[in-house]
């Protein structure tokens, strides 16, 4: 099975359709599948639902699709760094389903493992629990959260071999593996593709069985919050 493609657009060819549900990796500005998001923007695919920890910033990450009004709904944990995200939500232009970060990650992972739902204490007694089944275990209430299964997963990894085995770097590992698992099709962009057999099996974070297509590219390294101090005078 051919998994390596020449560009992000080629890797998404024949997959995209209006109204689809996409799970996207990334945490803050780390591990964002920026090449695939740009390819979706250029394709003009619209009415999209995204499950992602956040939407990047206004001009990076999913934020570029918010600018072009290609996103209908976000399933997210955090919106604080994206002014356009907040504006569209507050004006009623964008649907938003808030999820605690751990709950969102587990909903993705459960979808990839064939688990239809799970109970968690997180969100009990808050608006997160509204409309959800509550069950008592050992004297404490838990709410039922349903697994997420996406039409497509788009993720970013550090290294891959040509069979799709992936290694992530640091914070980029937070949401990319569970996002990859829950997609019916997973497309990964990576910084480097290495020959089969050159990755230490004990260091592989996501096995290639979850990955259907791979594209190598050059990625931008952004800093989300730059904090500095004034140089002290001598």
Distances (CA, A) of 101 to 51, 73, 127, 148: 11, 17, 15, 14
20 and 48 Cβ atoms separated by less than 8 Å: yes
Q: How far apart are CA 128 and CA 97, in angstroms?
A: 9
Per-residue buried b or exposed e for 61-94, using 16+ beta carbons within 10 Å of the residue's own CB? bbbbbbeeebbeebbbbbbebbebbeebbeeeeb
**Average of per-residue pLDDT values in the chain:** 93
Q: Is it the case that residue 142 has pLDDT exceeding 80?
A: yes
48 and 65 Cβ atoms separated by less than 8 Å: yes
3-state secondary structure (DSSP) of residue 108: helix
Q: Is it the case that residue 219 has pLDDT exceeding 70?
A: yes
92 and 64 Cβ atoms separated by less than 8 Å: no
Q: State the average pLDDT over residues 140-152.
A: 98
Contacts of 1 (CB under 8 A, 6+ apart): none
Annotated domain spans of the chain = 4-116+147-216
Sheet (strand 140-146) strand order: 117-120, 140-146, 134-137
pTM: 0.91
Q: Is it the case that residue 177 has pLDDT exceeding 90?
A: yes
Q: State the average pLDDT over residues 65-91.
A: 89
For 80-125, how does the pLDDT look when each residue is reduced to its tens digit (9 = 90+)?
778 888 889 889 999 999 999 999 999 999 999 999 999 999 999 9
Tokens 């938003």 map to which residue?
96
Rounded to a whole number of angstroms, the distance between the first and last alpha carbons of the chain is 64
**What's residue 154's pLDDT?**
98
CATH of span 4-116+147-216 = 3.40.1080.10
């Amino acid at each position: 099975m051919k998994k390596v493609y020449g560009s992000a657009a080629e890797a998404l060819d024949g997959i995209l359709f209006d109204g689809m549900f996409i799970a996207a990796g990334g945490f803050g500005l780390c591990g964002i599948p920026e090449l695939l998001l740009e390819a979706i923007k250029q394709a003009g695919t619209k009415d999209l639902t995204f499950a992602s920890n956040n939407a990047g910033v206004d001009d990076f990450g999913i934020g570029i699709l918010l600018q072009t009004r290609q996103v209908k709904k976000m399933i997210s944990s955090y919106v604080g760094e994206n002014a356009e995200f907040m504006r569209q939500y507050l004006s009623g232009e964008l649907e938003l389903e808030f999820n605690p970060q751990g709950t969102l990650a587990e909903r993705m992972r459960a979808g990839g493992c064939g688990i239809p739902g799970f109970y968690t204490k997180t969100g009990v007694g808050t608006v997160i629990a509204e409309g959800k089944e509550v069950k008592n275990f050992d004297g404490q209430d838990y709410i039922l959260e349903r697994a997420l299964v996406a039409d497509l997963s788009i993720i970013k990894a550090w290294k891959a071999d040509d069979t799709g085995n992936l290694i992530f770097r640091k914070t980029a590992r937070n949401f990319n593996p569970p996002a990859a698992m829950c997609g019916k099709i997973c497309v990964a962009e990576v910084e480097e593709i290495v020959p089969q057999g050159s990755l230490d099996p004990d260091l592989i974070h996501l096995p290639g069985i979850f990955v259907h297509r791979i594209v190598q590219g050059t990625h931008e390294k952004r800093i989300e919050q730059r904090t500095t101090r004034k140089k002290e005078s001598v």
